[in-house]
Structure 1
Amino acid sequence: MRTTKHGGAQLPRRYGRIPLALLAVGVVVCLAVALLGRGDAAPDTADVSVTAAKASVPIDAGTADATTRATRPRVTSPPPRRTAAAASKPPAGTRSPRVAPSTPTPSRRATSSTPRTTYTESLAGRIKPGVRYRGVATAYEAADGNGACLYGPADDMMIAAMNETDYESAKACGAHVLVRAANGASITVRIVNVCPLPCAPGQLDLSQEAFAKLAELSVGRLPITWTLLSPAASGTISIRYKDGSSQWWCGIQAIGHRNPLATLEVRTANGWRKLQRTGYNYFLSPDGSGCGRAIRITDIYGQRLTIDGLAVKPDVKQSTRVQFAQH
């Protein structure tokens, strides 16, 4: 096998006349150039290794490339989402615009201590002011006008029984509703009774006297719409203790209120106590707490009336001098 000995290589004949010193200088120059060339290659290798290292780092969501990542902090968790409430806040340093209340504040007071206000969803229950309800009207023999609300005989037979769903455990008792028939006739009735199932939501069972104002009784079922009213003409409210009431137990009822009643409270040694309403339209104090003391009633508009000086007189209707404001 042929080998090449670099150290003992002989020069071609055409270089034989070149002085040995000059040849030595040329060899040194060539070696220097070779060494410089190898030194230039080192930075290129370093750059490639750095680039490869960057490419191995996971890319954060929303970043464009490795260069962008190198100039911004790495996000280890998603930023918090703005809620609708936060989005509606004005920027820092700015004043919020003044917004007028959704309902005007009336200047007239029903009593010296309680301002007139607007109703709230929690107080109104199922039957709400300003809402038109659709259903059918039927008729029943109302006799003397007494019913599940236990108001007693009615002075005016323009009365009705509310379907059990909208009756809502006596919340509808005493409400005045304007009933309109498809033929254009209308009548205002007061709720004094409940119409049990199968009476459907929206249905009103009118006294025969009231139904006759809208159509012939032979019609049977009459399509209607109805809305809650706050009537202009109304007397004062009366309070009645249920028969059997005493200082140990009592049931209290309000009669003749212009607007539907939301709550009834009695004053106790520990302050006002809200009584539970029954389906027969009395508010009960099972341990006698507050019986015979001051009574506070609130309508669905939030107006409160305080009644003092009523003794426990079972089954006696005691008149007061107060009434809820008209809405």
Structure 2
Amino acid sequence: MHETTRQAARQRRRRRRLLVGTTTGVIVTGLLVCLVMTMQPDRKEDAGQATATAVTNAQETLPSASPGHEPSSASPSPSATSATPSASGTLAKASPPRSAAASKVSPRKAPVTTSLAGRIRPKVTYPGVATVYKAGVGDGACSYGPSSDMMIAAMNTTDYETSRACGAYIRVRAANGASVTVRITNECPLPCAPGQLDLSEQAFAKLAPVSTGRLAITWSLLSPDAVGTISIRYKTGSSPYWCGIQAIGHRNPLARLEVRTSGGWRQLARTDYNYFLSPDGSGCGGAIRLTDIYGEQLTVNGIAVRPDVVQPTRVQFARH
């Protein structure tokens, strides 16, 4: 009887332990399920943030668009608005992306500038003032000597630019519609201002009565049609040991004068009286190479060192 009772008691204790264990397992399992359910939305949110970050990085590392084209959908990266050197050497802000319609328009090409020109450049209209002077026989600072054509002018010192303006043909226009073409043979010293032209009486009279004395004008460089060929003159005192060389009658402004030496072409320095000097005599009497502001080069041979003698050539620069 007692043994039967003890066995029954042991069976009841085992059942209670199994029940407690099962209940505990269910509770633990429930807690784990709740924890999983609670954490699941967080994982989705994290995954979404990771994806957005990856897209942003991909936009920042897209390859640059080819010239004249821009990305059609990607947002600009921070570097798209950074300062970049402009053609002039200053820093300029890059333009923001254009619309899809605007991006189809071909970009404008920057205007081509003439690198060999000085202050006076082709296809530029300059405002200024015309004054008048008695030109006498037409000689002046450019050292051309007397002139049979009195449609001449003196260029202000700034634009004269150490004789770079010498020989240039200039079209001058007045507000009344009158115009005249002159050749620069002289320098107008201070107080002549930049843009100012001092015209011979004969040239000024084509625009207004000489008694007017002063006239608002605009002027521009001209490459005339009716000109002859270029001539060369050696300066007084020139020899095989020292020489000054001058070009006369060139259609376009002269940018360089070079002489051929045993070491190749040598560029000579230009004076304010419009001669190019070789102080040690190198190249004197040899081949001469002329370059205009457009970059055209002409080579002249057979010009002997004959001081103060105008020697014609058979060459001339092209018309522009």
Give TM-score scaled by structure 1 length.
0.72
What does residue 65 of structure 1 align with? Answer: 49
Letter in 2 for 1:27: R
| Superposition deviation, residue 204 in structure 1 | 0.6
| Superposition deviation, residue 68 in structure 1 | 4.7
What does residue 135 of structure 1 align with? Answer: 128
User: How far apart, CA to CA, are the structure 1 residues paired with 2:315 and 2:19?
Assistant: 120
| Superposition deviation, residue 273 in structure 1 | 1.4
Deviations 1:268-315 (A, max 9, x none): 112111222121111122222211110010112222111001111122
Structure of larger gyration radius = 1
Match for residue 257 of structure 1 among 236, 250, 255: 250
Gaps in structure 2 of 5+ consecutive residues = 1-7, 72-105
Query: Against the structure 1 CA distance between its residues 64 and 24, is the aligned structure 2 distance closer, same or farther, given a 3 Å change threshold?
Result: closer
Q: 5 Å matches for 1:150-299? A: 150-299=143-292
User: How far apart, CA to CA, are the structure 1 residues paired with 2:48 and 2:119?
Assistant: 56
What does residue 310 of structure 2 align with? Answer: 317
Q: Which has the higher contact order (CA 8 A, sep 6+)?
A: 1
Residue aligned with 1:123, SS: coil
| Superposition deviation, residue 158 in structure 1 | 0.9
What does residue 19 of structure 2 align with? Answer: 29
- Answer whether contact 1:275 1:284 (CA < 8 A) is retained: yes
Task: Report the identity percentage.
Answer: 60
Residue aligned with 1:134, SS: strand
User: How far apart, CA to CA, are the structure 2 residues paired with 1:90 and 1:68?
Assistant: 23
- Answer whether contact 1:120 1:301 (CA < 8 A) is retained: no
Q: For the aligned residues, what is the CA RMSD?
A: 3.5
Single out whichever of 26-35 and 290-299 deviates more from structure 2: 26-35
Single out whichever of 278-287 and 187-196 deviates more from structure 2: 278-287
Structure with bigger helix share is 2
User: How far apart, CA to CA, are the structure 2 residues paired with 1:64 and 1:293?
Assistant: 81
Query: Against the structure 1 CA distance between its residues 270 and 215, is the aligned structure 2 distance closer, same or farther, given a 3 Å change threshold?
Result: same
Deviations 1:109-160 (A, max 9, x none): xxxxxxxxxx952112221222222111000111111111111111111100
User: How far apart, CA to CA, are the structure 2 residues paired with 1:87 and 1:201?
Assistant: 39
- Answer whether contact 2:291 2:298 (CA < 8 A) is retained: yes
Letter in 2 for 1:307: V
| Superposition deviation, residue 23 in structure 1 | 5.7
| Superposition deviation, residue 67 in structure 1 | 5.9
Give TM-score scaled by structure 2 length.
0.74
What does residue 28 of structure 2 align with? Answer: 38
- Answer whether contact 2:114 2:294 (CA < 8 A) is retained: no
What does residue 106 of structure 1 align with? Answer: none
Letter in 1 for 2:247: A
Letter in 1 for 2:233: R
Deviations 1:151-188 (A, max 9, x none): 11111111000111211211110011111111222211
Letter in 2 for 1:34: T
- Answer whether contact 2:234 2:307 (CA < 8 A) is retained: yes
User: How far apart, CA to CA, are the structure 2 residues paired with 1:42 and 1:121?
Assistant: 81
Residue aligned with 1:177, SS: strand
Deviations 1:222-270 (A, max 9, x none): 1111121122211111101112222222111100111111111111112
Letter in 2 for 1:154: S
User: How far apart, CA to CA, are the structure 2 residues paired with 1:172 and 1:33?
Assistant: 108
User: How far apart, CA to CA, are the structure 1 residues paired with 2:214 and 2:115?
Assistant: 32
